[in-house]
Amino acid sequence: MAASLREPSFISSASSSTCDTDDEGVRGTCEDASLCKRFAVSVGYWHDPYIQHLVRLTKERKAPEINRGYFARVHGVNQLLKAFLRKTECHCQVLNLGAGMDTTFWKLKDEDLLPCKYFEVDFPMIVTRKLHNIKNKPLLSKPIVELHSEDMLHMGKLPTLLITECVLVYMTPEQSANLLKWASNTFETAMIINYEQVNMGDRFGQIMIENLRRRQCDLAGVETCKSLESQKERLLANGWETACAVNMMELYSRLPRAEVSRIESLEFLDEMELLEQLMQHYCLCWATRGGQELGLKEISC
């Protein structure tokens, strides 16, 4: 992991009491997502031996529809990520924006799928907390020390994968457009995986927005989350050559039947309609530029 064990240089300059107050609601979503993943792993939805070292297990049970939603999210992102790594034969770099307590780095190492460089970016407070945990857990710190990766993002020809899970939606449309344009202009061969809300113009979407606002968490970029088409159009308008998007209910329906049967046997779900509503309001998008010789355009979920 290129975010090395030394204190990152940007922490002192980026952190201020004003920024911390303004971003408190957004930072809180990192805690929520981490606790949900930790609980789902404890129930047996997927295997992750590392999350227990970064996230505590709370006594509060998470609803079955939430657990299944996270399972579909983790499965979809991992499927696209591994497809990119295999297409590039791991001669690439991964940039995870808003990584939080994500454990992908260690799981990829276990599967011998580590890219040349692996970067994580998040709020200084979150990065500091994660570094503290890593430094005090040899199981986490040893693989990073052994990697000897240079602490520098490679600009240019090295194939690059960007991951943004519930990140762009907290930016204004102008800010997310600038980020997407920067990435498409900076990396000759690249792919982006974006997971966030969709179909937010209906009543269920409005309720989601109102619930988040009550927690001081404003979806500044919700305008772009109107539909799958609006998600794809944003990517294509900012320098990406191909763009695909699928809502999470459709992705769930594509999962291997044996795996669906396994996870559905873990907990009883009496409100299938709520699961469908939730999953129809989240989507997985991916886009590519360059990489014709690698077959990046063939990657699907």
- What are the strands, taking DSSP E only, across 57-158? 93-97, 117-121
Computed from CA positions of residues 62, 20, 194, 119, in that sequence, does the dihedral angle turn out positive or negative? Answer: negative
What 3-state class would DSSP assign to 86?
helix
Q: Would the annotation count 234 as a binding residue?
A: no
In sequence order, the 6+-apart residues with CB closer than 8 A to the CB of 136 are none
Closest listed residue to residue 100, CA positions, set 123, 118, 77, 83? 123
- Whether 63 and 37 have beta carbons less than 8 Å apart is answered as no
- Whether 76 and 284 have beta carbons less than 8 Å apart is answered as yes
Sort 62 into a burial class: Cβ within 10 Å, 0-12 / 13-18 / 19+: buried
Q: Would the annotation count 250 as a binding residue?
A: no
Q: Would the annotation count 76 as a binding residue?
A: no
List beta partners, residue 282.
Answer: 197
What 3-state class would DSSP assign to 59?
coil
In sequence order, the 6+-apart residues with CB closer than 8 A to the CB of 49 are none
Tokens at 156, concatenated? 């240019």
Closest listed residue to residue 162, CA positions, set 184, 146, 130? 184
- Whether 238 and 180 have beta carbons less than 8 Å apart is answered as yes
List beta partners, residue 287.
Answer: 192, 243
CA atoms of 53 and 61, how far apart (whole Å): 19
Binding-site members for S-adenosyl-L-methionine are 73, 98, 165
Binding-site members are 73, 98, 165
